[in-house]
Structure formats: C-alpha cells, structure tokens
C-alpha cells in the first residue's frame, strides 16, 4: 500500500486527484498507475485502470491471475469491473469512497453473487494516510477557487 501511496503523491504533484494503485504478483510490482484524468483528458484514466494496463503489458496477458491490486481509494464501478475481468485475485484498498465506491460503500460489485467472477476485498489499509492525502488535496482545490474569486 505504501507504493500505491507513492503513486497517489505523483498524482497530487500533477494536480490530479491523488489516487494511486499497484499490482503485485509473487511479491513483485508488475503494474502501477496514478490518476491522469486531467492530464490525458480521459475519464477512464483512473489509477486502477492504468495499473491494470501496465500489468497486462508487462505480463503479456490480460489475465492477471494470482495478483493483488492495492489502491488508495475504494474502486468505482468501472474500475471494479476491470478488476473482475482481469481476474485479479485480491483487492486491497485504503480509504472508503462514500460517493462512488463499488466495493461496499455505495455498491458491492466485487463480491456480487449474481456474477460468476468475484474478488475478495480487504479495505481500510493505511486508511488514515490515504484519506488525509485526499482531504488535503481537496482543501487546496477549494482554497485556489476562493483565491481566484
């Protein structure tokens, strides 16, 4: 999770929402990513999506069996869908997302009985650090908006 936090800090420095993700297989990071939505002007450029793309390229397969995805924020529905389809074996996240979280907060897609694919979830890992980074980022955004008025 510390590596995912490092990725989130990269996003923060780029004035992107500070979310980071890494994918680990056999104790080695095979993919990493951080939000690049504003940079790329791409609504799908979430940290998890970019980490999955990087891991798939490094492994030369879209099937990421036996891998663990660590992300600093509970994934949204899009990212959770990609996690399931990539056959990631375990999901670990830091902070809960009460607005868009699809792993228990708003929806529960990762362990949905109606789907034939499920991924076990561990939430709340380094939750305080992950939450503080997001809170600090949004406080700065609000401060910039107020100073521009």
CB 21 within 8 A of CB 4: yes
Q: How far apart are CA 89 and CA 118, in angstroms?
A: 8
pLDDT at residue number 45: 98
Q: Which pTM does this prediction carry?
A: 0.95
Q: Name residues whose C-beta falls within 8 Å of residue 138's C-beta, 6 or more positions apart in sequence.
A: none
pLDDT at residue number 149: 67
Catalytic option among 3, 7, 16, 48: 48
pLDDT at residue number 144: 86
pLDDT tens across the length of the chain (149 residues): 999 999 999 999 999 999 999 999 999 999 999 999 999 999 999 999 999 999 999 999 999 999 999 999 999 999 999 999 999 999 999 999 999 999 999 999 999 889 999 999 999 999 999 999 999 999 999 988 888 76
7 has catalytic annotation: no
């Amino acid at each position: 999770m510390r590596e995912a936090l490092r990725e989130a800090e990269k996003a923060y420095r780029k004035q992107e929402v500070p979310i980071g993700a890494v994918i680990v297989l056999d104790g080695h990071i095979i993919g990493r990513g951080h939000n690049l939505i504003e940079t790329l002007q791409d609504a799908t450029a979430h940290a998890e999506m970019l980490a999955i793309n990087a891991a798939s390229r490094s492994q030369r397969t879209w099937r990421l069996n036996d891998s663990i995805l660590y992300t600093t924020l509970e994934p949204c529905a899009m990212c959770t869908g990609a996690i399931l389809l990539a056959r990631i074996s375990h999901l670990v996240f830091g902070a809960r997302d009460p607005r868009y979280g699809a792993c228990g907060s708003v929806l529960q897609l990762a362990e949905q009985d109606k789907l034939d694919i499920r991924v076990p979830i561990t939430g709340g890992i380094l939750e305080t650090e992950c939450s503080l980074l997001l809170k600090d980022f949004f406080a700065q955004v609000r401060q910039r908006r107020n100073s521009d008025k």
